[in-house]
Amino acid sequence: MALVPASTSVESPVIAEVDMGGGSDPSSVTVRATVVQASTVFYDTPATLDKAERLIAEAAAYGSQLVVFPEAFIGGYPRGSTFGVTIGSRSVKGREEFRKYHAAAIDVPGPEVDRLAAMAGKYKVFLVMGVIERAGYTLYCTVLFFDPQGLYLGKHRKLMPTSLERVIWGFGDGSTVPVYETPLGKIGALICWENRMPLLRTALYGKGIEIYCAPTADARDVWQASMTHIALEGGCFVLSANQFCRRKDYPPPPDYVFAGVEDEPPPDSVVCAGGSVIISPFGAVLAGPNYEGEALISADLDLGEIVRAKFDFDVVGHYSRPEVLTLTVKDHPQNPVSFASAAKTENSQKS
């Protein structure tokens, strides 16, 4: 099904120009941004990558310079699955479900990352993509960043998986909480409920984030309140992308069963209603929220609004009280194993 721009503040599909040289007044830049609301092709990563390229191409044709995808778009969000886990045991079927889920994840770096980078370069967009990252035998819920030259910039790993997510995903650390300075503004991301963590948000504010991406799996009305609050608190644009999924977007039973429901949902029943949205630094909804179906949700971001909003409230600037309240972020990798021989080799090379 072809996607169409939904609830957009953009009047016509004329490509907006950005001064890629930075210009003397970066606050005069206007950025066309799109959040993608679409479902994974579950357990089929090649097909999901094909779908991602179609969506990126459509957004670029509309003039978008930044395209944001939902949480776990590549690899899939395993909604409704328990992986056979109860306290004290795991089932044989659940272990097999994890094996298949692990197989659908991607290595970072890896061939799928190379392909995503090529897409960003081909369509000349900054790309923010939710993936399930495979690092050996541990999975991470991760966001990848790419620039219009086709370069992979880096990643953010979800710092705090929610509830049963902690059984299937590892925990990120402070070394993957980046904010990238780009010609479109300073771009970063937090994933789903870690957006509720005040200290983690403050770390992004401290890095000067201006375009705050929030890939999620939360389609509830209360999510909109969180997104509006973050926009106001951070004086930044907030771009939240969620999947819109029906039961038929997941494998049929018995290959995939939704736990906690008495009856198997009909194929066309909605299991995630989306709610993707773009919000200004003043808390104004620029596009969305959309609960209608798969869509591209687009808006033009006037970066001057950031300066105007910060005049009122700059959370790590004039509205901070560092003599009373401070935050220390441990932004180095946390490694479970280190080798003394490697340290000796490094020291000998320095000498």
Q: Which residue numbers are catalytic?
A: 71
Paired sense of beta strands 30-37 and 185-189, if any: unpaired
- 60: its two tokens: 């670029």
DSSP string, 200-264: HHHHHHHTT-SEEE--BS--SHHHHHHHHHHHHHHTSEEEE-B-EEEGGGSPPTTTS--TT-SSP
**Burial grade of 318 (CB within 10 A; 0-12, 13-18, 19 or more):** exposed
> Rounded to 5, what percent of the chain is helix, strand, coil?
30, 25, 45
CA–CA separation, 71 vs 320, rounded Å?
A: 31
Nearest CA-CA partner of 210 in 117, 312, 302, 322? 302
CA–CA separation, 59 vs 246, rounded Å?
A: 23
Nearest CA-CA partner of 74 in 40, 30, 120, 37? 40
Count of alpha carbons within 13 angstroms of residue 237, beta-carbon side:
28
- The one-letter amino acid at 77: Y
